[in-house]
Amino acid sequence: MDTEQARQRLLAERARLEAVRQAAERLSAGAREAAERELSSADQHPAELATETIERELDQSVVLRVEKELVEIDAALPRLDEGKYGLCEACGKPIGDERLEALPAARYCVEDQTKLARTHRNGSR
């Protein structure tokens, strides 16, 4: 893959993630306000409260995921300049254009990603 093309793709992905994060943060701020209103009102409806709790958790998981992806993109950009972009950090083999198109910030080839996912399964997630 062309370096400039990869950089453009990473920057475009970064801009998209920033927009998603901002939208999710706005949503979650709105849900928080609604929840506070409901807590202070005597006749709160349990079903509505449950829905908003779920929405709030969804927003948080979106933000967490987006922030993780942003970290990956910020880590991928300097690798472009170092000439390491697109090479697996574990085995050093090319990750492959197809995988990079789907996941521009991928650090590992499919094989090593699978191994890592297995290793980290008992961790935080």
Residue number closest to Zn ion, CB atom: 88
- Kindly state whether residue 100 participates in binding Zn ion, applying the rule CB under 5 A: no
- Kindly state whether residue 38 participates in binding Zn ion, applying the rule CB under 5 A: no
Region for residue 44 given its phi and psi (left: phi exceeds 0; alpha: psi -120 to 50; beta: otherwise): beta
Q: Determine the 3-state secondary structure of 87 from DSSP.
A: strand
- Compute the least distance from the CB of residue 87 to Zn ion, in Å: 9
Which of 34, 58, 77, 90 lies at the binding interface for Zn ion (CB under 5 A)? 90
- Compute the least distance from the CB of residue 93 to Zn ion, in Å: 5
- Kindly state whether residue 106 participates in binding Zn ion, applying the rule CB under 5 A: no
- Kindly state whether residue 24 participates in binding Zn ion, applying the rule CB under 5 A: no
Answer for the pair 39, 92: CB distance below 8 angstroms, yes or no.
Answer: no
Among residues 112, 76, 72, the alpha carbon closest in space to that of 92 is found at: 112
- Kindly state whether residue 112 participates in binding Zn ion, applying the rule CB under 5 A: yes
Among residues 120, 113, 73, 81, the alpha carbon closest in space to that of 96 is found at: 113
Residue ranges binding Zn ion (CB under 5 A): 88, 90-91, 109, 112
